Amino acid sequence: MAGEALARAAQLWSLLDEMAENEPQAYRRLLRQQRAEAERLCAPPEPHLCLRARPAGAVREPLFINVCGWKRVPAPKAPSEPTPVSAGPLEEVSGDGDLYSIIDIAYNPDVLQRGEENPEKMEHLIRLTLKFVEERCNLILSYLYTIESFKLKGSLETMQQRLKGRQMPTPHLSQNTKKELTLNELLHAVEAEDCSNAPVLLKEESVTQSKVHLIEEITSTEMPEKLSTPVYEITTVKDANKKPLKIELKIELPKVSSVSECDLRISKDDIIIEVPEKYKLQLDLPELVDEETTTAVFHKGKRVLFISASCQARSLKTAFCPVHVHICQNKTKAQNENPNF
C-alpha cells in the first residue's frame, strides 16, 4: 500500500512538472483552486449561537445546542433544496453540581448569515434544528427554547473536536486499478486518502440510519406558510375549597374535517396541537395535570376539539404523551362526554 502511494505521488509530481512547463496558466489556476479548497476543508467550525432547549420526560436537565458555522459544510444549492448539516454526538456533562446535555450542529456560514438578515428565516432554521436533534437523538423537545447570551456552551476546542471527530472510511485504489492515471484522476485519488474527513452529501433519511455521517441534510430553509393560532378557551374547574380539579380546553378548528389531521401531545404542564399547514397552538397549562387520564373529543359537526385533564399535585414531569381523540357526530354525544362545555 505504501509503495502504491509513493508511485502515485511520483506520477503526480511528474504530471505537475509537465503542466507547469507546457500549460503555465492552467498550472497556476489549478494551484489556486487547490489552495482555496484546502482552506475551506481546513477551516475550523466557529460558534454562532447557543440554544437552550427543553426536553420532555422524567430527566429534566437542559439541552444546549451549539449552532456553528463551518465552511466545510456545503451551502444548499437553492432555497428549495435540502440544507446540509453536520452534527456531533450528544454528550452528557456533569461538574460542579451542574448537569446538562450538549450537542453541536454546524451549517454553512452563508445559511446562518441569511438567518441573521431575516429573523423569520432564523426562527425557521432553529425549528428545523430542534426537529433534526429530536430525530437524531430520539428525544421529544418542547417548542419553547432560549437563545443564550453566550455563543458557545463549553470550550471552543472541545466543540471543534466533537464536530471533527467522526472519520469517514478512507477510499483506496484496488489492485485492479490502472497504473497510469490522468492528472484529474490522480488528484482525486490523493484527496481521497489525504482528506478522509471530506464532506459527503447524504439523503434526508440518513438521519435515522445507524451509521453516522459527516454531512447530512435537513429539509429546506424555504419559509413555509405561516400557521394560524386557533381560537380557544381554557378553564380551570375548582371544588368548593378552590382546589383545582381539572383543566378544560375548547379549541375551534374550522379548517379541520377529520381528527386524523391533528397531532396532539400533552405533558404535565403544557400542550401542543398541530395541524400541518393549518394550525399550531402551544399552551402552558395553569396547573399540573395527569396526562395519562386526559381525554379529548372532536365534535365533527361543529369542528371543535374538547380536551379535559385532571389536575394533580406538583411533581416531576414526564414525557409528552399522545392523546387519543374521539369523534362526536352530534351535539348530544359531545355534551354527554363533556358536560361542562
The cell for 126 is 432553529
Total structural domains within the chain: 2
30 lies in some domain: no
Q: What is the pTM of this model?
A: 0.50
**pLDDT tens-digit profile of 280-299?**
888 888 999 888 888 888 88
Residues 208 and 274 in one domain: no
Least confident range from 46-50, 87-91, 112-116, 330-334: namely 330-334
Residues 248 and 152 in one domain: no
Compare 277 and 193 and report the one with higher pLDDT: 277
Note the pLDDT of residue 153.
93
Question: How far is Cα 62 from Cα 141, in angstroms, rounded to an integer?
Answer: 10
Note the pLDDT of residue 225.
59
Residues 210 and 272 in one domain: no
Find the mean pLDDT for residues 170-191. Answer: 47
185 lies in some domain: no
Domain of 287, in residue numbers: 232-337
Q: In this structure, are residues 56 and 319 in contact, taking their beta carbons and an 8 Å threshold?
A: yes
With cell 399535585, the residue in question is 313
Note the pLDDT of residue 247.
92
The closest of 318, 327, 325 to 291, measured between CA atoms, is 318
Find the mean pLDDT for residues 69-87. Answer: 86
Residues 108 and 256 in one domain: no
Residues 246 and 151 in one domain: no
CA dihedral (56, 62, 68, 72) positive or negative: negative
Residues 127 and 243 in one domain: no
Give the pLDDT band of residue 209 (cuts 50, 70, 90): very low
15 lies in some domain: no
10 lies in some domain: no
Residues 212 and 290 in one domain: no
**pLDDT tens-digit profile of 229-246?**
999 999 999 998 889 999
| Backbone angles phi and psi of 70, in degrees to 5 | -145, 120
Question: How far is Cα 320 from Cα 250, in angstroms, rounded to an integer?
Answer: 20
Out of 185, 218, 251, a domain closes at: 218
268 lies in some domain: yes
Identity of residue 119:
P
Helices then strands, counting H and E runs in the chain, come out as 7, 16
Contacts of 254 (CB under 8 A, 6+ apart): 303
35 lies in some domain: no
